[in-house]
Amino acid sequence: PPLLRHAALQPLSREHMSGLIQARNLRRAAGGGHALRAGMMPVMAPGIRHDVRAPTAAAFLLQVSPADPSARA
């Protein structure tokens, strides 16, 4: 069952879940493994560079820890 959220947080929670589902679907569709995802980072990095979530997004796509220097584009 879904977790109960304060009414003010529900839209953010739904947006976050939607983003997670989209990311999962993109990873499944890519199907090319780590090398393909790593190759996409230079293409995607300009669009997410100013996003405060960029290190987390890169880590998710590359399946590495955000603290790992190799995850930085």
Residue spans of the domains in the chain: they are: 32-73
The pLDDT of residue 3: 77
The pLDDT of residue 73: 45
What's the pLDDT tens digit per position in 14-66? 899 899 999 888 888 877 666 556 666 666 666 655 555 555 655 666 665 55
The helix (run of H) or strand (run of E) holding residue 68 is: none
The pLDDT of residue 40: 66
Residue pointed to by tokens 């109960």: 4
Question: Which residues have CB under 8 Å from 71's CB, separation 6+?
Answer: 55, 58, 59, 62, 64, 65
* Tally of CA atoms within 13 A in the half-sphere of 5 that contains its CB: 12
Q: Is the pTM of this model over 0.75?
A: no
